[in-house]
Chains A and B, each alone.
Chain A
Amino acid sequence: MLRHAAHRLASRAAAGSISRRALATAPAPAEAGEDPAFVEAWKKVTNIIDPPQTPMSAMKPRPPTPASIPSKLTVNFVLPYKSEITNKEVDMVMVPATTGLMGVLPGHVSTIAELKPGVLSVHEGNDVTKYFVSSGFAFIHANSITDVVAVEAVPLEQIDPNLVQKGLAEFTAKLGSASTDLEKAEAQIGVDVHSALNAALTG
């Protein structure tokens, strides 16, 4: 009998605490940068699980387009394994777009440019930093911020000219002897990259 009483007491206590807890919890406030429509749709499906965060809330908001053209360009240059340049104020950036080398000055019109293997140079006053980029994208925003996302980039000083010549010869030979479309495409890419490297080192 005592056992039953204890059991009833425990269950009543548990039920009481649960209802107390339900009354006590207030709805979680929406975080800054959260999409309210998404949170709404989420809440319709489930109330127990919190909605997942979205990348917008993890990023600092970008400054709006200024009225007059700023004097400096802010550049972000990111690679998969590190952020090479973050929020650096420079005078000019030359990006190797597929249509040719493109110079970006503050106040440039907003553009999305696909990059081909070539040299990216960052001009700050009198010093120029040059990188050889394999490929990627460059986004030029209206607020004079330029984002360059590349798959691989190396400073020009670290490239060995002998290896470049060897690679070029090797891929040209492969292109000549390629049989399938896939091999031809791979060899062509190799030739393109190595000739661009060559041009970057000599030019």
Chain B
Amino acid sequence: MAMAAAAVLRRRGSQALLSAPSQVASMGARYPAVPQPEIAILGARSVSTQIVRTRMKSVKNIQKITKAMKMVAASKLRAVQTRTENSRGLWQPFTALLGDAPSVDVKKNVIVAITSDKGLCGGINSTSVKVSKALLKMTSGPEKETKYVILGEKGKVQLIRDSRKHIEMTVSELQKNPINYTQVAVLADDILKNVEYDAIRVVFNKFQSVISFQPTMATILSPEVMEKESESGGKVGDLDSYEIEGGETKSEILQNLTEFQFSCVMYNAVLENGCSELGARMSAMDSSSRNAGEMLDRLTLTYNRTRQASITTELTEIISGASALEG
């Protein structure tokens, strides 16, 4: 008897539940601003499914956004890549003439670190910063002075934390307009005017392929150091054996040569770093959308399981109530 009463209560309870949503649904109809069609269908047990459903919606949006960012990066990369490859011939004559002296030991070193302004581009900025910091340690010593010139916001943010006193100058918003040689030449001129240097080391990521970027360091010596190295038979090749055709003194020509070399190397470096940034962003966004897809699958499974469990529970209650009444 008590069981039957309990069963009736349960049935009426489930009926009450079924009616409540209809009331809510009618409320929803009267106040269309109230967003409750989901509650209307499933009743009070939908709370957990609603949470899952909100999460699914946000994860789906994230997936769409990251996919779009990947497409944008891919299209920009195609444009910059051709220009980068065309500019690769620019620094080769200088290296052929002057050789490369990365291990040169001088008093004043300037490290030009090229990083990006925007984030979400994988680990290339951290790699550049790590290499720059190691270079700082390598070139520091008694009577020696090393300074940073930072291009790009991300590098500035990372280096300003612990090396603030070493930073000489920072430049940002480099990639706002498509890069051309004149712009980089002006920037190089600016740097050379404001910074005293014996050797400049430019740190950037060389673009090898869409998924591989190699941190690279190019060294440019000041004209005085170059003369000294060539006289002492260092790695500068046989600079002395070259006749200077220019009418003016050798040091003036060397000065022009250094400035020209710096602007050419900077142009190539900025382009290569831009390419690497876009490639890294492409792969970062690609893995992000893939992760979002996997997360979405897992959430869908959870959602379905919860939904089916709630339906089964309701059915069980109704059926047991009905069988209790009959039997």
> Which residues does A use to contact B, with CB under 8 Å?
35, 37-38, 40-42, 44-46, 49-50, 52-56, 58-59, 62, 76, 78-83, 86, 97-99, 102, 109-114, 136-137, 139, 141-142, 145, 147-149, 151
Contact = CB atoms under 8 A, between A and B. Distances in A.
Nearest to B185: A151
B138 A44 contact: yes
A78 B245 contact: no
B177 interface: no
Contacts of A99: 245-247
A114 B253 contact: yes
What 10 A-B pairs have minimum CB-CB distances, sorted nearest first? A147-B93, A83-B89, A37-B103, A113-B245, A38-B103, A80-B181, A56-B100, A52-B217, A38-B102, A82-B86
Interface stretch (B129-137, B142-150, B167-175, B303-311): B129-137
A97 B93 CA distance: 17
B272 to A, nearest CB: 10
B217 A54 contact: yes
Contacts of B206: 53, 58
Contacts of B131: 49, 52
Contacts of B89: 76, 78, 82-83, 86
B166 interface: no
Interface stretch (B18-26, B29-37, B154-162, B235-243): B235-243
B256 interface: yes
Interface string B228-271: 00000001001001111111000001001100100011010000
Contact of A49 (B88, B92, B100, B134): B134
Contacts of B181: 80-81, 151
Contact of A41 (B103, B214, B219): B103
A30 to B, nearest CB: 13
A82 B91 CA distance: 12
A44 B138 CA distance: 8
A74 to B, nearest CB: 12
B111 to A, nearest CB: 11
Nearest to B202: A55
A86 B41 CA distance: 73
B283 interface: no
B195 to A, nearest CB: 21
Contacts of A78: 89-90, 92-93
B293 interface: no
Interface string B73-90: 000000000010011111
Nearest to B100: A56
Contact of B93 (A41, A44, A46, A76): A76
A110 B245 CA distance: 10
Given A54-B219, A55-B100, 10 more contacts: A45-B134, A82-B86, A110-B238, A110-B242, A110-B243, A111-B245, A112-B253, A113-B246, A137-B260, A139-B242
B318 interface: no
B44 to A, nearest CB: 35
A143 to B, nearest CB: 10
B95 A56 contact: yes
A53 B216 contact: yes
A45 B218 contact: no
A81 B180 CA distance: 8
A114 B245 contact: yes
Interface in B159-210: 180-181, 185, 203, 206
B97 interface: yes
